[in-house]
Structure 1
Amino acid sequence: MKKLPQFFKLSVIGLLLISLASSCVSRQEIVYFQGLEEAEARIDKQRENSLKIKPNDLLTISVSAPEQTAALPFNLPVIGVSQGGEIGGLSPVGRQQLQTYLVEENGKIDFPILGQVAVEGLSQQELAANLKEKIRRYVQDPIVNVRLVNFQISVLGEVNRPGTFDVQDAYFTLSQALGMAGDLSIYGKRDNILVMREENGVTTHAYLDLGDANVINSPYYYLQQNDVVYVEPNAPQRQSASYNRNAGVYISIASVLVSVAVLLTR
């Protein structure tokens, strides 16, 4: 049986070596939070800087006390929502819902009895403590709960479930956002994740490296309302946009066939 030319054999060996090399991925490219034991996380400090109330935010604020009748004037009337979502009077098939406070452009809300209250720049806990101090003049041992109801973040790019998500937690991290989006796909670039944020009418941004444990010390690690997270595709994924996604499969099949041919012609 006729032997194949030497250069052809060398080409086959080269293809096999390239295939093996391309299949090797280092730990640094995949593993999250490397060096966590050395990272000095200042979690409390980052939480202090996270999720501040801004104009156009929607808040629910409930006030209660041992003498509930004394706290009633400090609450907005409860509204009824039918199963179809229509707001109106209470009905047997409806449910109760707290009305929301809209933060005005001047950073204030109109609060019962107290009037205009400045809320911009405060966290939910700070606002609750502030209101509690003011209401204590009228009500003994008041309890104040504040919740931001329009906290949304968007996750785009190379994740398994991109989209816009409603957030219930006051402290919401980049890791939690990626978890809600089904984590990065295998094509996602883990060392250059973009977080975009609007602050005082100006869009700011930062690129975060999930492979570095010190990412938890970034002010962008704790997300704020309307943040946008974008996961960039890695180099192979970008290159694949210019050719058939099945090209790699075809090359692998061809390599195997050529290898078999070489063995049969020896």
Structure 2
Amino acid sequence: MAYFYESEKTLDSLTLFDLEQVERSQLRIKANDQLNILVSSSENPAAVSSFNLPVASVGNILDGDMQPTGQPKLQTYLVDQKGTISFPVLGEIDVEGMTRNELRLYMERELAKYIKKPMVNVRLANFQISVLGEVLKPGTFPLSDEYISLPKALGLAGDLTIYGRRDNVLVLREEADGIKKVYLDLTDNEIVNSPYYYLQQNDVVYVEPNGPQRQSASYNRNASIYISIASVLVSLAVLISR
């Protein structure tokens, strides 16, 4: 099965693609995102404590006591339906539509009013994508890497089965004006220029089955039984008529 097909004329040539679409595909913060925001300062580390959420302990109840197990978990900021988070001291911040880097720069400017040389680290805590349909291992995949392409997502799901349509892969994306549906052709080399080539949080990838697989899915597994019963009845009718 060929992916990213090129004609024989271009096989020996170097193909360069415009990377502007990579910048356009940067993740934008949306409602219901969960953000890990950590503030630090090399000048005055003690001063940043009021800007960080307490670390949640992870543990089990053993003999009536809570025993910590595993690594402590950093609490997150939930982006509400208005696209804002409530941050200590700074108050309500409108974060929807920002990239992580834009939010980091904004917060460092604001925090500079209170502490010297603040450093802010912003990460998306609930980044995940779903891959469904004709793939080897369909499912929802939580990711620590927020920079993921469509082929990489399909690789996480074990690649397409032989029954999957490679020329009609559906990407569903939730945006402010609704859910957008885009069909992509994995056999076309120009797919890398699509703004949907790089996935975003909560994208759903669906691989459609090909024609023979659709027909086999609609085939009645009891058809052979019905045919056998009909044959017996016809045979009995012939014998009786004699």
* TM-score over 0.5 (shorter chain): yes
CA contact (8 A) 1:184 1:231 kept: yes
User: Is 2:171 the counterpart of 1:162?
Assistant: no
Q: Distance in 2 between matches of 1:212 and 1:94?
A: 46
Matched with 1:32 is 3
Whole-angstrom distance in 1 between the partners of 2:96 and 2:217: 45
Partner of 2:90: 114
Query: 2:69 is matched with which residue?
Result: 93
TM-aligned CA distance change 1:157 to 1:116, over 3 Å: same
CA distance in 2, matches of 1:97, 1:53: 21
Tell me the residue number matched to 2:174.
Answer: 198
Q: In terms of Rg, which structure is larger?
A: 1
Highest RCO, 1 vs 2 (Cα 8 Å, sep ≥ 6): 1
Residue 74 (str. 1) matches residue 51 (str. 2): yes
Instruction: Confirm or deny: 8 A CA contact 1:81 1:90 kept in the other structure.
Output: no
Change (3 A) 1:109 1:240: same
SS in 1 for 2:36: strand
Q: How far 1:140 sits from its partner (Å)?
A: 2.0
**CA 1:172–1:114 in structure 2 vs 1: closer, same or farther (change >3 Å)?**
same
Flag as ranges the 4+ runs of structure 1 deviating above 6 A: none
Secondary structure (helix, strand or coil) at the match of 1:64 reads: strand
TM-score, structure 2 as length reference: 0.80
Q: 1: CA distance between counterparts of 2:48 and 2:174?
A: 36
Contact between 1:60 and 1:147, CA under 8 Å: does it hold in 2? yes
* Residue 218 of structure 1: aligned partner: 194
- Please state whether the residue corresponding to 2:137 is helix, strand or coil: coil
- The answer for the alignment partner of 2:232 in structure 1 is none
Q: 1:47–1:172: structure 2 CA closer, same or farther, 3 Å change rule? A: farther
Question: TM-score, structure 1 length as denominator?
Answer: 0.73
Sequence identity, in percent? Answer: 53
- Of 59-68 and 41-50, more deviation after overlay is shown by 41-50
How many residue pairs were aligned? Answer: 212
Coordinate RMSD, CA, aligned = 2.3
Q: How far did 1:96 drift? A: 1.6
Conserved in 1, the CA contact under 8 Å of 2:57 and 2:68? no
Residue 239 of structure 1 and its aligned partner are, at CA, apart by 2.8
1:50 paired residue among 16, 22, 26: 26
What does residue range 129-144 of structure 1 map to in structure 2 within 5 Å? 129-144=105-120
Structure 2: gaps (5+ residues): 222-242
Q: Is the 8 A contact 1:73 1:112 kept in 2?
A: yes
Offset of 1:153 from its aligned partner?
1.1
8 Å Cα contact 1:50-1:223 kept in structure 2? no
Distance 1:139 1:91, change over 3 A: farther
Deviation, 1:180, is 0.6
Gap change, CA 1:243 and 1:102, over 3 Å in 2: closer
Task: Kindly state the Cα deviation for residue 230 of structure 1 after the two structures are TM-superposed.
Answer: 0.5
Structure with more strand by fraction: 2
**1:160-208: CA deviations, max 9, x gaps?**
0001111211212111110110000111111110001111151111100
Task: Show structure 1 runs of 5+ residues with no match.
Answer: 1-29, 246-266
Q: Which of 79, 82, 88 is 1:103 aligned to?
A: 79
